[in-house]
Amino acid sequence: MLILIVNNYGQFNHLIARSIRDRVEGKMISNQTPADEIQADGLILGGGPSIDRAGRCKEYLTSLEIPMLGICLGMQLMGTTFGGSVGPGTIGGYAQVDVEIIDEDEVLKGLPSRISTWASHADQVIELPEGFRRLARSNVCEIEALRHESKPLFGVQWHPEVVHTEYGGELLENFIEICRR
């Protein structure tokens, strides 16, 4: 089993890769890697400073048929690629955000209804794309997590790979299980 982590120049991308490598084979790749060169069981679209520097991520989302987890910017890329909107949030820097899980789904399976997370909301999905449903919300963001209705595409605004996020390891384990199918 191999899960690739797309480096979108975010400060936590190496930590995402480490969190995956602690569980299964994981490798970080450039966001300039051609989609036809990606041979993996799953893909994580990491965070980063801006959609403008996200390389070929939109191509991955529309052409690859493997499970994908978008983290922070990765979730925002899912939103815009499929017709949703991203806008500025109320919290620009990283901070603790209490998230309410409203639809457990398979990626959030087994998590409590409220968790404490570490997230930045400088930008966030403000309009859900067609074909997606909301999985979680908070008092600072109405769309903290989402998933595609029929494709294995999942996104979270928070960072499950950091120790400040409760149940982050369980979320990553759930994604790994999705990739095993």
Distance (Å, rounded) from C-alpha 107 to C-alpha 125? Answer: 18
**Please, is 151 exposed, middle or buried when counting C-beta atoms within 10 Å of its C-beta (0-12, 13-18, 19+)?**
middle
161 is catalytic: yes
Q: How many domains does the chain have?
A: 1
The pTM (predicted TM-score) of the whole model is 0.96
149 is catalytic: no
Q: Residue-wise pLDDT tens for the chain (181 aa)?
A: 999 999 999 888 999 999 999 999 999 999 999 999 999 999 999 999 888 899 999 999 999 999 999 999 999 999 999 999 999 988 777 889 999 999 989 999 999 999 999 999 889 999 999 999 999 999 999 999 999 999 999 999 999 999 999 999 999 999 999 999 9
The DSSP result for the chain, as a single string, is -EEEEEE-S-TTHHHHHHHHHTTSEEEEEETTS-GGG---SEEEE---S-GGG-TTHHHHHHH--S-EEEETHHHHHHHHHTT-EEEE-S--SEEEEEEEES--TTTSTT--SEEEEEEE-SEEEEEPPTTEEEEEEESS-S-SEEEESSSSEEEESB-TTSTTSTTHHHHHHHHHHHHH-
CB 125 within 8 A of CB 146: yes
The range of the structural domain enclosing residue 97 comes to 2-180
| CATH assignment of the domain containing 115 | 3.40.50.880
Which of 57, 121, 159, 166 is catalytic? The answer is 159
Q: What is the model's pLDDT at position 97? A: 95
159 is catalytic: yes
Which of 72, 121, 144, 166 is catalytic? The answer is 72
Distance (Å, rounded) from C-alpha 38 to C-alpha 129? Answer: 25
Which of 144, 161, 166, 179 is catalytic? The answer is 161
